[in-house]
């Protein structure tokens, strides 16, 4: 399982640990990923996604999964999230 947010594409970053003596050793900064279940109002379904804490706050701020995916760029989304976005757009077009 990769350490990448399914909604924002946020992944691990690299940097240095710097000691008091200014010695530098490589380290990784990992995103704060959580397995959450988000509901779609349009599809009336729930989806289990592995997203970062920042993405979860953004989903709440924008008013839910449907609103977040409507504004999200396709190249940042995982294949699973992209399929959900297309299903929501399809359902809204027929309604």
User: Per residue in 77-95, is it b (16+ CB within 10 Å) or e — as a string?
Assistant: bbeebbebbebbeeeeeee
**pLDDT value at 12 more than 80:** yes
Q: Specify if 41 maps to a domain.
A: yes
Give Cβ neighbours of residue 61 (< 8 Å, ≥ 6 apart).
none
pLDDT at 2: 87
**pLDDT value at 1 more than 80:** no
Q: Specify if 4 maps to a domain.
A: no
In this predicted model, what pLDDT tens digit does every residue of 81-95 receive, in sequence order? Answer: 999 999 999 999 998
In this predicted model, what pLDDT tens digit does every residue of 64-79 receive, in sequence order? Answer: 999 999 999 999 999 9
In this predicted model, what pLDDT tens digit does every residue of 26-62 receive, in sequence order? Answer: 999 999 999 999 999 999 999 999 999 999 999 999 9
Q: Specify if 5 maps to a domain.
A: no
Give Cβ neighbours of residue 81 (< 8 Å, ≥ 6 apart).
6, 7, 49, 69, 72
Tally the domains of the chain.
Answer: 1
pTM of the model: 0.88
Q: Specify if 23 maps to a domain.
A: yes
Which segments of the chain does DSSP mark as H helices, in order?
53-62, 65-71, 79-94
Domain residues for the domain of 22 are 13-94
**pLDDT value at 80 more than 90:** yes
Q: Specify if 25 maps to a domain.
A: yes
CATH (domain of 71): 2.30.170.40
């Amino acid at each position: 399982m990769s350490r990448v947010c399914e909604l924002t594409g946020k992944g691990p970053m690299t940097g240095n640990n710097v000691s008091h003596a200014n010695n530098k050793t490589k380290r990784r900064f990992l995103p704060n990923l959580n397995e959450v279940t988000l509901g779609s109002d349009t599809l009336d379904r729930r989806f289990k996604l592995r997203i970062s804490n920042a993405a979860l706050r953004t989903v709440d701020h924008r008013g839910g999964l449907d609103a977040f995916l409507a504004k999200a760029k396709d190249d940042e989304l995982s294949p699973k999230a992209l399929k959900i976005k297309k299903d929501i757009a399809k359902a809204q077009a027929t309604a």
